[in-house]
Amino acid sequence: MFSLVAFIPRAVQQGIPLLFGSTGETITEKSGNLNLGIPGVMYVGAICGVIGAFFYEQSVPSGDLNGFLAVFIPLLCSLAGSFLMGLLYCYLTVSLRSNQNVTGLAMTTFGIGFGNFFGGSLIKLAGADVPSISLSQTSAYFSKTLPMASTTGWFGKIFLSYGFLAYVAIIISLIAAFVLKKTRTGLHLRAVGEDPATADAAGINVTKYKYIATCLGCMIAGLGGLYYVMDYACGVWSNDAFGDRGWLAIALVIFTIWKTDVGIFSSILFGGLYILYLYLPSGTHTEYKELYKMIPYVVTLVVLVITSMHNKRENQPPHSLGTNYFREER
């Protein structure tokens, strides 16, 4: 039976990784960098958090975890891992002016390989004697809901029943929207993305803005991976489980027409579409479930086509998106 109160929290849980990813990618794209490496970055963010948590759980006797460290260590590892990926992308595309599409795809290959490799071999490499990576203790800290969640009925279920990272995602996207729209830094960043030559002439340090925006974007996107594995997947790493959410996050950037605050609702909508197949009737014909799984991609494609049909100026991607800037090249 379909119940909206049960459906919305699940949609939100599916949507939060997408929200992290799309917020990060929006900030990156505003600087003119089309980072197709986001799927890889999200894997790296997830696995680095897992590695951090794994060693912390191994090093202390079970049940003795310090709540603060159990959250802080994976968070720091995850941020560091995705930051390094961002730095690599920036070094290749901004400093070495490589093709952004190819660099991004190479990062995705590398990142997904990195995640699956350490996910599959961590136990062997670390010489630990556990059958599989299951970080239920760390996960318990990550998925701790607000205290009123269980006592406030449907309201608590829909609004309060998530781990802290979910609220962090929403706060980050609101801050990002504010900074991009209302502050001088945001104005400079948008200028860099629209026309780096003009921004350079106006005295804005193009390289610095591109580096900071891309690395920050990657760190935010990496948190999406961390949320997925620690909160949604209850701390259990399984290879390829994260799937194609990274690509959906990139698609979501277009869906939200480069506005991170719109992303909050759109990501939840996408999250709902992603699990809609579980709720649609298919009877004994399980094959139709596979067709229902197509829905988010078809919707994205349709939105993509529709936004390009309405050729409005304010809905366009940053003008220099995908091209590199070299001062001496006009």
Partner 1 sequence: MPMKNKEPRFYISKRADADRRTAWTIRIIAIVISLIVCGIVTMICTGDNPISIFATIFKGAFGTQRKAWITLQYVAVLLIISLALTPAFKMQFWNVGGEGQVLMGGLSAAACMITLENKLPNAVVILLMIVTSLLAGAIWGVIPAIFKALWNTNETLSTLMMNYIATQLVAFFTIVWEVPKGSGKIGIINQNSNIGWLPNIGNKYLLSILVAIIVTAGMYVYLKYTKQGYEISVVGESLNTARYVGIMVEKVIVRTMILSGALCGLAGLLLVGGINHTITTTITNGQGFTAVMVSWLAKFHPIGMIFTSLLIIFMDRGASEISTAFELNQSFADILTGIILFFIIGCEFFIRYEVRFRKDSGKENA
CA distances from 213 to 31, 187, 190, 192 (A): 6, 13, 11, 10
36-75 residues near partner 1, rule: CB under 8 A:
36
Cβ(229)–Cβ(50) below 8 Å = yes
> Which is closer to partner 1, CB of 120 or CB of 186?
120
> Which is closer to partner 1, CB of 171 or CB of 291?
291
CA distances from 68 to 72, 76, 167 (A): 6, 12, 18
Cα–Cα distance between 10 and 25 in angstroms, integer?
Answer: 23
- Ramachandran angles phi, psi of 134, nearest 5°: -135, 105
Task: Tell which one of 34, 135, 191, 220 touches partner 1 (CB under 8 A).
Answer: 34
> Which is closer to partner 1, CB of 60 or CB of 302?
302
DSSP structural state of residue 146: P
User: Six-digit token pair at 106?
Assistant: 């190479």
Task: Tell which one of 5, 60, 125, 278 touches partner 1 (CB under 8 A).
Answer: 125
Candidates 102-110, 142-150, 182-190, 203-211; binding stretch for partner 1 (CB under 8 A): 102-110
Angle between the 295-309 and 260-275 helix axes, to the nearest 10 degrees?
140
User: Six-digit token pair at 258?
Assistant: 């480069």
Binding of partner 1 by 225 (CB under 8 A): no
> Which is closer to partner 1, CB of 44 or CB of 176?
44
Binding of partner 1 by 250 (CB under 8 A): yes
Cβ(81)–Cβ(222) below 8 Å = yes
Binding of partner 1 by 120 (CB under 8 A): yes
Smallest gap from Cβ 203 to partner 1, in A, equals 15
Smallest gap from Cβ 126 to partner 1, in A, equals 12
Candidates 170-178, 185-193, 230-238, 245-253; binding stretch for partner 1 (CB under 8 A): 245-253
Task: Tell which one of 206, 251, 264, 268 touches partner 1 (CB under 8 A).
Answer: 251
Task: Tell which one of 244, 278, 280, 319 touches partner 1 (CB under 8 A).
Answer: 244
∠ Cα 282 231 243 (to 5°): 55
Smallest gap from Cβ 192 to partner 1, in A, equals 19
Question: Three-state secondary structure along 217-280?
Answer: HHHHHHHHHHHHHHHHCCCECCCCCCCCHHHHHHHHHHHCCCCHHHHHHHHHHHHHHHHHHHCC
DSSP structural state of residue 159: I
The residue among 182, 147, 168 whose CA lies nearest residue 231 is 168
Candidates 100-108, 161-169, 186-194, 203-211; binding stretch for partner 1 (CB under 8 A): 100-108
Binding of partner 1 by 208 (CB under 8 A): no
Residue 236, beta-bridge partner list? 134
> Which is closer to partner 1, CB of 93 or CB of 173?
93
Q: Which residues bind partner 1 (CB under 8 A)?
A: 34, 36, 88, 91-92, 95-99, 101-103, 105-121, 124-125, 239, 244, 247, 250-251, 254, 286-288, 290-291, 293-294, 297-298, 300-301, 304-305, 308-309, 311, 317, 326, 328-329
